[in-house]
Chain A
Amino acid sequence: MELGLRGRKALVTGASRGIGRACAELLASEGCDVTIVSRTQADLDAAKAKILGASNVAVRTFAMDLSDSKNADILAVECPDIDILVNNAGAIPRGTIAEIDEARWREAWDLKVFGYINMTRRFYALMAARRSGVIINIIGAAGETVQSSYACGSTGNAAMMAFSRALGGTAPNDGLRVVGLNPGPVETDRMTTRLRREATAKFGDPERWRELTSHMAFGRAATATEIANIVAFLASDRSGYTTGTIVTVDGGGTSRASSL
């Protein structure tokens, strides 16, 4: 299925690793010029080299911390013609409300919640002026399967779900689309690092971390590419009437409850 993305300009945040990296690579393979943002220049350089090796597209990099809204302002000035914005940067720490003190809570939300809001504020306005563009927010299924052991993440993700729906609902008035994507467990560095630590504690062997995914749907977590695939599809005109909605890709985790 031809997605018709060739020549579009995509900006992906948190793009040097995990889901963001997979999104950047896949959008590039579909012909998008990509702008990749993350905090570490060395990681960005590695990602850029890999993308340029695989796809004949332009790649720009910006090493910046999007917790600081001044950086979102700079990006908006540097990249005024973005067609596709993928908000993805941010990882909220696990823990109960007792474990996450106010400073950690606010710091996490500065990137994942306010970072998304500030990026959207700037880029939505740029897109609205051209009456063309799509914003995809990578959120997380904890926003709908709320967990007290992930209090900060569940609450922040729920906010981003409401934000994506509210803005996406009226975005057609400006000729735009805004969509949210809720991944469940995804095999990223972040997840394998955590599971290797758990495997060390449980089995005394970090290499046995895969055994800790056997209870997941299909005995595994999603691949980052499985998230990137739907991001590219949602970013394309094949999804021209899809906006204000949240797409959950979690192997059914959200729908697997026991009520009796």
Chain B
Amino acid sequence: MDLGLRGKKALITGASKGIGRACAEVLAEEGCDVALVSRTAADLDRARAEIAGKYNVGVRVFALDLSDGRNVDKLAAECTDIDILVNNAGAIPGGNLDAVTEDRWRTAWDLKVFGYINMTRRFYAQMRERGRGVIVNVLGAAGENPDVNYIAGSSGNASLMAFTRAMGGAAPRDNLRVVGINPGPVLTERLITLTKTRARDVLGDESRWEELMKGHAFGRVAKPEEIAWMAAFLASDQVSGYTTGSIITIDGGATSRRSAI
């Protein structure tokens, strides 16, 4: 299936690791020039070298903290012809209302909530002017499965789900599309680290972390590529031209696997 993405310009935030990195790889494989954004220049340089070594596409990198709206403005000034924006940067800490202090809460939302909103404000306006473009927001299934022990993430993701749907619902008026993806657990370095810690606590041996994945759907969590393939599919006007204002959940069915009685 040809996605028709060759030559498109994609910008991915949080692109040096995990889901963002996989999105950058898949979009590059499909022929997009990619602009990678994350906070750490060294990580970005490594990602650029690997992607540029594998695919014949342009790779630009920007070491910026998108918590700061000024960096979003800077990025929009540097990248004026983006066709595909993948908002992905940000990881909201776990914990209940007592555990997540106001400072930590605000810091997390500056990146994951306000970062997405500010990026969308700038890049949506640019895309509207050209009359084409797609924004893919990578959110998180906690937004539809409220968890009191992930209160800041559940609330933040829920807000971004509503934001994505509201923007995407009206986007056809500007000939644009905005969609969201809600991943459940994904095998990222972050999850592996968390699971190793849990394996040490629960099993007394962090090397046995994979045993703790057995309870998930298919005995595993999602691969970052499984999120990235969907992101690329949705980013394609050729195959997904009528998909907007929707949230697509990729969580091995967890959201739908609860007992009502």
Residues of B within 8 A of A3 (CB): 1
Which A residues between 220 and 260 are near B, CB-CB below 8 angstroms? 222-223, 226, 229-230, 232-233, 238-245, 247-257
With contact pairs A1-B30, A256-B245 given, residues A242 and B230 touching in the complex (Cβ less than 8 Å)? yes
Judging by beta carbons under 8 Å apart, are B229 and A1 in contact? yes
Q: Which of B169, B232, B246, B257 contacts A170 (CB 8 A)?
A: B257
**Contact pattern, A 152-193, Cβ under 8 Å of B = 1, otherwise 0:** 000000000000011011111001010000001000000000
**Contact pattern, A 202-231, Cβ under 8 Å of B = 1, otherwise 0:** 000000000000000110001100100110
B222 at the A interface (CB under 8 A) = yes
Judging by beta carbons under 8 Å apart, are B233 and A233 in contact? yes
- The smallest beta-carbon distance between B204 and chain A, in angstroms, is 29
Residues of A within 8 A of B242 (CB): 184, 217-218, 222-223, 226, 249-251
Q: How far is the CA of A35 from the CA of B33 in the complex (A)?
A: 40
Judging by beta carbons under 8 Å apart, are A245 and B172 in contact? no
Q: Which of A30, A168, A239, A243 contacts B230 (CB 8 A)?
A: A239
Name which residue of chain A comes closest to B185, CB basis.
Answer: A241
Q: Which of B30, B171, B251 contacts A241 (CB 8 A)?
A: B251
With contact pairs A222-B242, A249-B246 given, residues A241 and B223 touching in the complex (Cβ less than 8 Å)? yes
Q: How far is the CA of A256 from the CA of B166 in the complex (A)?
A: 7
With contact pairs A217-B172, A251-B172, A252-B245 given, residues A241 and B257 touching in the complex (Cβ less than 8 Å)? no
Q: How far is the CA of A256 from the CA of B244 in the complex (A)?
A: 10
Residues of A within 8 A of B106 (CB): none
Q: How many residues of B contact A (CB 8 A)?
A: 43
Which size class do A's interface residues fall under? 35 or more
**Contact pattern, B 244-261, Cβ under 8 Å of A = 1, otherwise 0:** 111011111111111000
Judging by beta carbons under 8 Å apart, are A172 and B169 in contact? no
Judging by beta carbons under 8 Å apart, are B1 and A1 in contact? yes
Q: How far is the CA of A86 from the CA of B248 in the complex (A)?
A: 19
Q: How far is the CA of A250 from the CA of B245 in the complex (A)?
A: 8
Q: Which of A165, A172, A184 contacts B218 (CB 8 A)?
A: A172
Residues of A within 8 A of B258 (CB): 169
B241 at the A interface (CB under 8 A) = yes
Judging by beta carbons under 8 Å apart, are B229 and A257 in contact? no
Judging by beta carbons under 8 Å apart, are A244 and B255 in contact? yes
B3 at the A interface (CB under 8 A) = yes
- The smallest beta-carbon distance between B134 and chain A, in angstroms, is 12
Max chain A Cβ within 10 angstroms of own Cβ: one of B165, B166, B169: B169
- The smallest beta-carbon distance between A202 and chain B, in angstroms, is 23
Residues of A within 8 A of B232 (CB): 1
- The smallest beta-carbon distance between B168 and chain A, in angstroms, is 5
With contact pairs A169-B257, A255-B165 given, residues A249 and B243 touching in the complex (Cβ less than 8 Å)? yes
Residues of A within 8 A of B191 (CB): none
Which A residues between 15 and 40 are near B, CB-CB below 8 angstroms? 30
**Contact pattern, A 131-163, Cβ under 8 Å of B = 1, otherwise 0:** 000000000000000000000000000000000
B148 at the A interface (CB under 8 A) = no
Residues of A within 8 A of B226 (CB): 238-242
Judging by beta carbons under 8 Å apart, are B233 and A168 in contact? no
B217 at the A interface (CB under 8 A) = yes
Q: What 9 A-B pairs come out closest when comparing CB atoms?
A: A244-B253, A255-B169, A169-B256, A252-B245, A255-B245, A244-B256, A169-B257, A256-B169, A172-B217
Further pairs besides A165-B255, A251-B242, A257-B169: 17, Cβ < 8 Å:
A169-B254, A175-B218, A184-B242, A217-B242, A223-B242, A229-B1, A238-B226, A238-B230, A239-B230, A240-B218, A241-B251, A244-B255, A245-B250, A253-B169, A253-B245, A254-B245, A255-B169
11 residue pairs A–B, Cβ–Cβ below 8 Å: A1-B2, A165-B256, A218-B175, A222-B242, A226-B241, A241-B221, A241-B226, A242-B250, A243-B217, A252-B246, A254-B246
Enumerate chain B interface residues (CB-CB to A < 8 A). 1-3, 30, 165-166, 168-172, 175, 177, 184, 217-218, 221-223, 226, 229-230, 232-233, 239-246, 248-258
